[in-house]
């Protein structure tokens, strides 16, 4: 920043010099135009011409130091910002500048600079609470427990309305949690805390964060006894549940609900604790009655989805559509999900379209919209939407990876395996060596006939995850299908069969390997079992081909007809029939 400030000043000086030169040039032109070429008498110097503008160097320019400090902060360069504000503090009589210098020095653990800044801040008129907090933080940073205790006591007795909040802020930033926890227990006792439930809750929460669960529970229980506030009940119950006292947590929440049966926050807390404990039915019953909010609908839907309760999901969709406008607006993504579950894709698109850009589910809404559009046959629109996401989320790696992966999966559905592989390439550039992406690209390469690339991806995946069953099966099948390295293919598929003996996909791989090895009867037996277990189109095509080779053409045709009903556009079936009936 210093360089840029100096360069601006240099440009200013150059402009002044240029202006003078230009004036001389104009004068010369005027001289040249006079009859006879006679020189004119220079005009007398004007008062402004005699003015000299003094520009301080950057080290002594307050504005330059402040700008440099803020620019350092934008780069997350806290040390650089601290140094700049240290310079600025010496040039300024503004206590806010000294305060900023002190905060930054403490943040970078520069105790000497922090002492200078706090002293300067004191001179310029810091409040008692300001100084007490800063000096407490400085004492904590240097391990001065007694000094920190004295300053924290001064802080809470300063009369500042936010004294206890400042107290907590000083302790949460301490280097030594044990030291901070000791001071918390000593100073923030129920006898000393103000008559405000929020302060008690804040100290209890701070105790938990500093590793003082007993103190946290004691303060929470005392807050319940004193205030009988719904938040105190909920927090005390959460602490008990976390400590393993499920009955104690339930007892507190029952007491609270008896006082406020319609309190949404309490019902949500209790239902969450019940569901965490595995009692999903009780949680659902509790939420089913009483006032509803976006949060209760979301938790009820989650519980119903976990139980695969389609009737309840349908009922929730009807209820949520009739909810007040503000609940519907904040539940647009959930409404879209519920509509999808009822196979109302058009309605789902409408709901997803209502998810705001600032909604945390905005990305997921667009991703689901792309999938629905693709299902509706609007392939170009689906890919266009995903292309928009790939541009909009360029600086967010996880979302960018998911967008490219979704694009790849849609291309796989279309049978455009080359484009799918390219999309997986993009995703792997964002997240190299991600197993799911390597597996997906390997499948795309295999389907595209790029066997060497597919084998390379699966081998790389197995180096990353040596015991990955799906990768073992995929590599084994790919080798078997290509008729190469069959002994290795056999070992790989055997590993997968041992891990998942009843998996139809692995059975299909084993059956197809037996076919490649010429063991037609074993192939037919295995593939029949896989076909009976799961009517997968590719398994059916394999079974039909084996039956055909066994001379059982009528059985083969019957299987092929079943495959055609399952997937009328199956490319594998089309290619197989061309080979069998040229």
Domain with 556 in it: what CATH number?
1.25.40.10
Inside any domain, residue 111: no
Residue 54 has pLDDT above 80, yes or no: no
pLDDT of the residue at 229: 87
Neighbours of 493 (CB within 10 A): 27
As a whole number, mean pLDDT of residues 419-423 equals 96
Question: Position of tokens 């309605």?
Answer: 347
Bigger pLDDT: 19 vs 214: 214
**Stretch among 54-63, 110-119, 310-319, 477-486 having the lowest mean pLDDT:** 54-63
**Stretch among 110-114, 197-201, 274-278, 439-443 having the lowest mean pLDDT:** 274-278
Inside any domain, residue 13: yes
Question: Position of tokens 């277990």?
Answer: 533
pLDDT tens for 181-208 read: 999 999 999 999 999 999 999 999 999 9
Which two three-digit tokens encode residue 338?
A: 């519920």
Which two three-digit tokens encode residue 547?
A: 């039956």
**What distance in Å separates the CA atoms of residue 473 and residue 463, rounded to the nearest whole number?**
14
Inside any domain, residue 444: no
pLDDT of the residue at 58: 60
Bigger pLDDT: 11 vs 172: 172
Bigger pLDDT: 269 vs 48: 269
Residue 38 has pLDDT above 50, yes or no: no
pLDDT of the residue at 262: 87
pLDDT band at 59; cut points 50, 70, 90: low
As a whole number, mean pLDDT of residues 415-437 equals 94
**What distance in Å separates the CA atoms of residue 473 and residue 490, rounded to the nearest whole number?**
10
Backbone CA torsion sign across 168, 169, 172, 174: negative
Inside any domain, residue 515: yes
As a whole number, mean pLDDT of residues 209-236 equals 94
CB distance 297 to 323 below 8 Å? yes
**What distance in Å separates the CA atoms of residue 504 and residue 441, rounded to the nearest whole number?**
22
Residue 66 has pLDDT above 60, yes or no: yes
Residue 32 has pLDDT above 80, yes or no: no
Inside any domain, residue 324: no
pLDDT tens for 69-81 read: 999 999 999 999 9
Total structural domains within the chain? 2
**What distance in Å separates the CA atoms of residue 372 and residue 122, rounded to the nearest whole number?**
63
**What distance in Å separates the CA atoms of residue 290 and residue 482, rounded to the nearest whole number?**
62
pLDDT band at 56; cut points 50, 70, 90: low
CB distance 145 to 136 below 8 Å? no
Which two three-digit tokens encode residue 83?
A: 């140094």
pLDDT tens for 144-178 read: 999 999 999 999 999 999 999 999 999 998 999 99
Residue 303 has pLDDT above 60, yes or no: yes
Residue 9 has pLDDT above 70, yes or no: no
Bigger pLDDT: 13 vs 140: 140
**What distance in Å separates the CA atoms of residue 466 and residue 510, rounded to the nearest whole number?**
20
pLDDT tens for 496-526 read: 999 999 999 999 999 999 999 999 999 999 9
As a whole number, mean pLDDT of residues 328-354 equals 96
Q: What is the 3-state secondary structure (H, E, C) of 110-132?
A: CHHHHHHHHHHHHHHCCCHHHHH
pLDDT of the residue at 55: 45
Structural domain of residue 499, as residue ranges? 467-580
Phi-psi region of 239 (alpha: psi -120 to 50; beta: other; left: phi over 0): alpha
Residue 51 has pLDDT above 50, yes or no: no
C-alpha separations of 9 from 48, 52, 64, 95 in Å: 20, 14, 11, 28
pLDDT of the residue at 57: 55
Inside any domain, residue 82: no
CB distance 127 to 160 below 8 Å? yes
CB distance 425 to 434 below 8 Å? no
C-alpha separations of 282 from 239, 274, 288, 305 in Å: 21, 7, 10, 15
Residue 50 has pLDDT above 80, yes or no: no
Burial of 544 (0-12, 13-18, 19+ CB in 10 A): buried
Residue 53 has pLDDT above 50, yes or no: no
Mean pLDDT of the chain, nearest integer: 88
């Amino acid at each position: 920043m210093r360089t840029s400030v100096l360069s601006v000043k240099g440009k200013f000086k150059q402009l002044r010099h240029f202006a003078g030169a230009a004036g001389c040039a104009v004068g010369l032109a005027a001289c040249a135009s006079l009859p006879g070429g006679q020189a004119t008498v220079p005009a007398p110097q004007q008062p402004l011409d005699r003015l000299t503008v003094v520009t301080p160097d950057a080290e002594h320019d307050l504005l330059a130091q402040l700008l440099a400090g803020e620019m350092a902060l934008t780069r997350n360069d806290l040390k650089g910002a601290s140094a700049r504000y240290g310079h600025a503090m010496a040039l300024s009589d503004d206590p806010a500048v000294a305060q900023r210098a002190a905060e930054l020095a403490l943040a970078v653990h520069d105790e000497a600079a922090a002492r200078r800044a706090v002293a300067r801040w004191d001179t310029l008129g810091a409040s008692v609470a300001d100084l007490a907090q800063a000096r407490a933080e400085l004492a904590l940073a240097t391990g001065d427990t007694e000094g920190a205790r004295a300053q924290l006591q001064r802080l809470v007795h300063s009369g500042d309305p936010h004294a206890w909040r400042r107290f907590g802020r000083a302790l949460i930033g301490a280097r030594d949690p044990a030291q901070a926890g000791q001071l918390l227990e000593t100073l923030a006792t129920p006898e000393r805390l103000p008559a405000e439930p929020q302060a008690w809750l804040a100290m209890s929460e701070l105790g938990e964060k500093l590793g003082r669960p007993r103190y946290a529970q004691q303060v929470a229980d005392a807050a319940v006894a004193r205030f009988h506030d719904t938040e105190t009940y909920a927090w005390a119950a959460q602490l008990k549940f976390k400590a393993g006292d499920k009955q104690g947590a339930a007892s507190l929440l029952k007491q609270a609900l008896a006082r406020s049966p319609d309190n949404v926050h309490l019902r949500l807390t209790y239902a969450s604790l019940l569901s965490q404990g595995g009692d999903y039915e009780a949680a659902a019953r509790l939420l089913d009655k009483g006032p509803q909010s976006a949060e209760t609908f979301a938790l009820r839907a989650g519980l119903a989805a976990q139980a695969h309760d389609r009737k309840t999901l349908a009922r929730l969709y009807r209820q949520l559509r009739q909810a007040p406008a503000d609940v519907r607006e904040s539940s647009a993504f959930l409404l879209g999900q519920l509509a999808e579950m009822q196979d109302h894709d058009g309605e789902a698109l409408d709901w997803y379209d209502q998810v705001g850009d600032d909604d945390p589910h905005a990305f997921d809404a667009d991703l689901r919209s792309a999938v629905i559009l693709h299902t509706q046959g609007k392939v170009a629109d689906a890919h266009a939407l995903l292309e928009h996401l790939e541009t909009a989320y360029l600086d967010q790696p996880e979302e960018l990876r998911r967008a490219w992966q979704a694009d790849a999966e849609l291309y796989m559905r279309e049978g455009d395996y080359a484009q799918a592989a390219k999309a997986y390439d993009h995703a792997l550039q964002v997240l190299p060596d991600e197993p799911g992406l390597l597996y997906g690209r390997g499948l795309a390469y295999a389907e595209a006939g790029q066997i060497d690339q597919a084998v390379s991806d699966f081998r790389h995946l197995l180096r990353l995850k040596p015991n990955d069953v799906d990768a073992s099966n995929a590599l084994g099948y790919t080798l078997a299908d290509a008729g190469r390295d069959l002994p290795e293919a056999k070992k790989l598929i055997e590993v997968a069969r041992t891990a998942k003996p009843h998996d139809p996909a692995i059975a299909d791989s084993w059956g197809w390997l037996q076919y490649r090895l010429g063991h037609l009867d074993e192939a037919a037996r295995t593939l029949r079992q896989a076909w009976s277990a799961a009517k997968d189109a590719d398994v059916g095509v394999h079974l039909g081909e084996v039956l055909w080779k066994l001379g059982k053409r009528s059985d083969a045709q019957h299987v092929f007809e079943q495959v055609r009903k399952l997937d009328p556009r199956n490319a594998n079936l089309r290619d197989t029939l061309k080979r069998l009936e040229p």
